[in-house]
Amino acid sequence: MDLQALVNKFKIIAGVYAFDILPDGSKSEIRIMAINDINTMMFNMLPDAPEFYPGVPLRRYFTEVNLENFIYNSAINNEPLYSYVNAFGMWIKGFYLPIDEEGNLLNEKGEPNTSPRTAYCLYITTRSKEVETEYMTQRSGEVASAIMELSVKLNKMRSFDMAMKECMSELKKICRAKSCALYTIDALKKECKLYNENGEQPEMLESMTSGMGRTPYETALAWEKDLDGTDCLLLDDLSLIEERDPVWYRSLKSFNVNKLILTAIRYDHDLVGFIWAINFDTEKTMEIKETLELTTFMLGARIAHHHLVSRLEVMSRTDSLTQLLNRNAMNERVEQLTNDKSAKPECIGVVFADLNGLKAVNDGSGHAAGDKLLQNAAALLKIAFDEYEIYRSGGDEFVVLCPDITSEKLEESVARLHALAENTPNVSFATGAKWYDGDYDIFTAMQAADQSMYQHKEEFYRLHPEKNWRKNL
């Protein structure tokens, strides 16, 4: 049977690939020896695709390192292989079958093929936009055991940070790597975090990315380009990275990195992170690849859930108009200062700030103008008390808690707030500030600051009776 007749028998994407095992044991570039009509149609859809002929180099169409590794391993070891991966925006199920030059299947695993000779592999694949979870469970016993252990570590830890720490520790052992880390991405906030077996590593993240002259988010975007459409690179040399990303290549070499794993983590096709490992055990490449395929699937769901919960938590504690902390957040903080002695600072400044004349603006110019006034007031509070906790406790009322502030700095900050307000149209604050140290009670401190603020407010309305809406009721 000729090779073209073999692939024509399949009603799904099929092709025969070949490479030479050279006298020194190295491998030549992979060549495409035969493809069926479905495969031809897909290849022709690629930009600048050359016309197919038997023996055309695979890389004339695209570079997909993982596909090449599976073809090499299947043909060299006379071993059927299976993969199920997310690449090029779809889930790809692949079967790799070693064959001889006449297209006969090699049904039993034999001794590894030696040089010099030509090795052949039949690659059959189907693709779908949606994941088919039943195919993700078809793993070897060793891989299934590793995934079970990882699943336990991911789900037994309620803390996201602890779960990531434990997961990276386990993956480092599985890969037998010098280092293994998780790089999470919050695309909405354009924020990234780095975790390894010791937990979150903000200093390492900053050092690693700034050394390349990139922000953490820019680094994530660069890595996505480095993957070039696939979701995983397992490299026993860095020549591909040198070609695709010279900046990262120089950084890797400066840390004596010679072997690299980079795997994208997605949830509903959205990129939410990466796993990377350096100087891993190349003899375990296939096991690592299988393990990462399902691990990234599990991690994607956990990371996406963590981001959702974090956003909901922020929403529940944030005033949507001013982006200051809201009354819920203030109540939680006061409860903490009351009940948790370890959270209680040695001294604290408490500021109550009431925005004067808000009702007059709402009545005279409309609520949109009133909202703008509140936003301007919040901006001034952020400038005057940038290091501290600022809460919008009610409609026109704000509270600032200043742990570990000196009494002098508290006075300076309040004075700065009033100076800023004097130079901002329509913004005027009535303030009350109190400073306490030693064995103070936070409720007493807040009541004293509130009373001081009302005294200041009465003085304001005495000088500006036209803005005192209470008298006009």
pLDDT tens column, 225-237? 998 877 888 898 8
Per-residue model confidence (pLDDT) at position 314: 79
On the question of pLDDT at 204 being above 90, the answer is yes
Token readout for 145 is 């055991």
Return d(Cα 411, Cα 349) in angstroms, integer: 9
| Beta-bridge mates of residue 318 | 325
On the question of pLDDT at 72 being above 80, the answer is yes
Residues in contact with 323: Cβ distance below 8 Å, sequence separation at least 6, in sequence order: 378
Return d(Cα 251, Cα 192) in angstroms, integer: 19
Per-residue model confidence (pLDDT) at position 1: 57
Q: How confident is the model at residue 426 (pLDDT cuts 50, 70, 90)?
A: confident
Q: Please check whether residue 281 is in contact with residue 176, taking contact to mean a CB–CB distance below 8 angstroms.
A: yes
Lowest-pLDDT range, 77-81, 220-224, 445-449?
77-81
Distances (CA, A) of 423 to 3, 321, 409: 83, 22, 21
Residue with tokens 């037998």: 176
Return d(Cα 410, Cα 450) in angstroms, integer: 16
| Beta-bridge mates of residue 20 | 118
pLDDT tens column, 428-438? 999 999 999 98
Residue with more model confidence, 148 or 379: 379
Per-residue model confidence (pLDDT) at position 466: 59
Q: Region 68-79: what's the mean pLDDT?
A: 89
Per-residue model confidence (pLDDT) at position 473: 44
Q: How confident is the model at residue 439 (pLDDT cuts 50, 70, 90)?
A: confident
Q: Edge-to-edge strands of the sheet including 199-200?
A: 199-200, 191-196, 179-186, 270-278, 260-267, 232-235
Highest mean pLDDT among 261-265, 283-287, 305-309: 261-265
Rg of the chain taking only CA atoms, in angstroms: 32
Per-residue model confidence (pLDDT) at position 464: 65
Per-residue model confidence (pLDDT) at position 350: 96
Q: How confident is the model at residue 15 (pLDDT cuts 50, 70, 90)?
A: very high
Per-residue model confidence (pLDDT) at position 118: 92
The amino acid that residue 427 corresponds to is V
pLDDT tens column, 331-344? 999 999 998 888 88
Q: How confident is the model at residue 288 (pLDDT cuts 50, 70, 90)?
A: confident
Q: Given CA atoms 332, 334, 336, 342 in this order, what sign does their dihedral have? A: positive
DSSP per residue, 59-74: GGT---HHHHHHHHHH
DSSP per residue, 377-437: HHHHHHHHTTTSEEEE-SSSEEEEEEET--HHHHHHHHHHHHHHHHTSTT--EEEEEEEEE
Domains of the chain: 3-134 (3.30.450.20), 139-316 (3.30.450.40), 327-472 (3.30.70.270)
Please, how many CA atoms are within 13 Å of residue 432, restricted to the half-sphere of its CB?
19
pLDDT tens column, 124-169? 998 887 766 655 555 555 665 666 666 766 766 678 899 899 899 9
Torsions phi, psi for 48 (to 5 deg): 55, 35
- pTM confidence score: 0.61
